[in-house]
Amino acid sequence: MAQKTVVLGVTACIGAYKACYIVRGLQKAGLRVRVVMTEHATELVGPKTFEALTHEPVLVGMFDPETEDSIPHITLANEADLMIIAPCTANTLAKLANGIADDLLTSAALAMHCPMLIAPAANVHMYEDPSTQANLATVRERGWTIIEGGEGYLACGDEGYGRLAEPDAIVAAALEILEVQPDLAGTKVLITAGPTREAIDPVRFITNYSSGKTGYALAEAARDRGAHVTLVAGPTALEDPTGMDVVHVTSAQEMFNACEAVFPSTDIAIFSAAVSDARPKIVADHKLKKGIDDAALTTIELVENPDILATLAAEKLGQVVIGYAAETNDVIANARKKLEKKHADLIVANEVSPHKGFGTENNKLIFVTEKGEEEAPEASKAKLANVVLDKALTLLLEKRS
């Protein structure tokens, strides 16, 4: 199937930076993106940013010297399978509703003979003004799709409706219009998250500092990319993500049992949980007391827990198996040992420190495979989740080729 093209119009709203995420989301679905901007929009986000993302020239003026095309608005209209305007200011919306074409963006919109998707954004009073609402009604009557934003705190300081819809919602609407499936559609993904707890007695346990944020970010990103996700989560303070199967466990043995049940039908398994290596051999049936149970309190005999990653990786039949390695020293060397010992396809390594790893919002990862190492710059766990999924999908396609 020929690659589809989306023309993305960007107007002068403070939310224009979010258009960068829209571009990325569309590209992840395999779409070509052309960007056209209003002149004032370039004061908020530079055209070079979009050129770097799309590897295409960004068009601004009707007679832009960077293009030899004498009728760029017609060329754009002929190339487009969908036009998105996001953010769309109240001013641009008014032009669109009334057929005014006084710049390249509105001229291209008037020339379009493909579906149109509009994501308006404005100050709450401008947004709720009767003229803006009438313009929205007008373009709806033409069959255009409107993705309205939510209510909340606006950049101007006011509160109310007018915020630009989230990029993921805009991308999802675009894919639905184009009947394009996300890149992980039809794929089953198993993800583990959080710590495990190994009971000592009814009130004490062995655990670690894992917050579960990495695993939950992976699960949400995989869901958003169309995968059927099973999240096996140890005890965390995080809310259950929607749109997936969530299995709550406490101990390493419970996590192993839950993963073992799902793994055979899984395409990609990502073991990001911080699983306790050992558990008390004997679990007291009462709270251990000083002066009464001193021996049990001061000497706890441990037995090894099942190695979830190694056991399931040894049973893989075409699945991509990814493990995480949180290390305090010799990060790459320890990750490579883990890769070989556990028979994983990829180890995602990170250094644990007060500002990285457990409980933080950002992370810095190193990908270790048989072919070598690759470092990902420090970024949010949500952003890194998609980087990990990109790696997983590449490995899956290699196995199936």
- Of the given ranges (1-15, 32-46, 63-77, 368-382), which has the lowest mean pLDDT? 63-77
The answer to the question of residue 18 being in a domain is yes
pLDDT at 153: 56
What is the rounded CA–CA span in Å between residue 127 and residue 155? 14
Q: Are residues 288 and 396 in the same domain?
A: yes
pLDDT at 3: 82
Tokens of 270: 């990502």
Q: Are residues 202 and 124 in the same domain?
A: no
Residue 90 sits in a domain of what CATH number?
3.40.50.1950
pLDDT at 8: 98
Enumerate the β-bridge partners of residue 231: 191, 246
pLDDT tens per residue across span 235-285: 999 999 998 999 999 999 999 999 999 999 999 999 999 999 999 999 998
Does the pLDDT at position 86 exceed 70?
A: yes
pLDDT tens per residue across span 40-68: 999 999 999 999 999 999 999 887 766 66
Cβ atoms of residues 79 and 59 within 8 Å: no
The answer to the question of residue 57 being in a domain is yes
| Global confidence as pTM | 0.68
pLDDT tens per residue across span 303-354: 999 999 999 999 999 999 999 988 878 888 899 999 999 999 999 998 776 5
The answer to the question of residue 183 being in a domain is no
Q: What is the mean pLDDT of residues 77-84?
A: 96
What is the rounded CA–CA span in Å between residue 246 and residue 4? 35
The answer to the question of residue 209 being in a domain is yes
* Number of domains forming the structure of the chain: 2
Q: Are residues 24 and 58 in the same domain?
A: yes
Q: What is the mean pLDDT of residues 137-141?
A: 96
Residue 4 has, within 13 A of its CA and on its CB side, a CA count of 20
Q: Are residues 242 and 134 in the same domain?
A: no
pLDDT at 159: 62
pLDDT at 178: 93
Q: Are residues 117 and 86 in the same domain?
A: yes
Last residue of a domain, one of 130, 148, 178: 178
Q: Are residues 336 and 207 in the same domain?
A: yes
Residue 379 or 358, more confident: 379
Last residue of a domain, one of 138, 155, 178: 178
The answer to the question of residue 342 being in a domain is yes
Q: Are residues 220 and 81 in the same domain?
A: no
Residue 255 sits in a domain of what CATH number?
3.40.50.10300
Does the pLDDT at position 126 exceed 90?
A: no
What is the rounded CA–CA span in Å between residue 74 and residue 61? 14
What is the rounded CA–CA span in Å between residue 35 and residue 89? 16
Residue type present at position 39: E
What is the rounded CA–CA span in Å between residue 114 and residue 136? 18
Does the pLDDT at position 6 exceed 70?
A: yes
Q: Which domain holds residue 293?
A: 188-400
Does the pLDDT at position 358 exceed 70?
A: no
Q: Are residues 198 and 173 in the same domain?
A: no
Residue type present at position 247: V
Kindly list the distances between the CA atom of residue 193 and the CA atoms of 102, 138, 176, 222, in Å, as whole numbers in the listed order.
Answer: 53, 48, 30, 14
Q: Are residues 34 and 94 in the same domain?
A: yes
Q: Are residues 274 and 396 in the same domain?
A: yes
Q: Are residues 119 and 255 in the same domain?
A: no
Considering the chain, what is the average pLDDT of its residues? Answer: 90
Last residue of a domain, one of 154, 178, 202: 178
pLDDT tens per residue across span 198-231: 999 999 999 998 999 999 999 999 998 889 999 9
Cβ atoms of residues 86 and 170 within 8 Å: yes
Q: Are residues 194 and 169 in the same domain?
A: no
Q: Report, as residue numbers or ranges, the catalytic residues.
A: 156
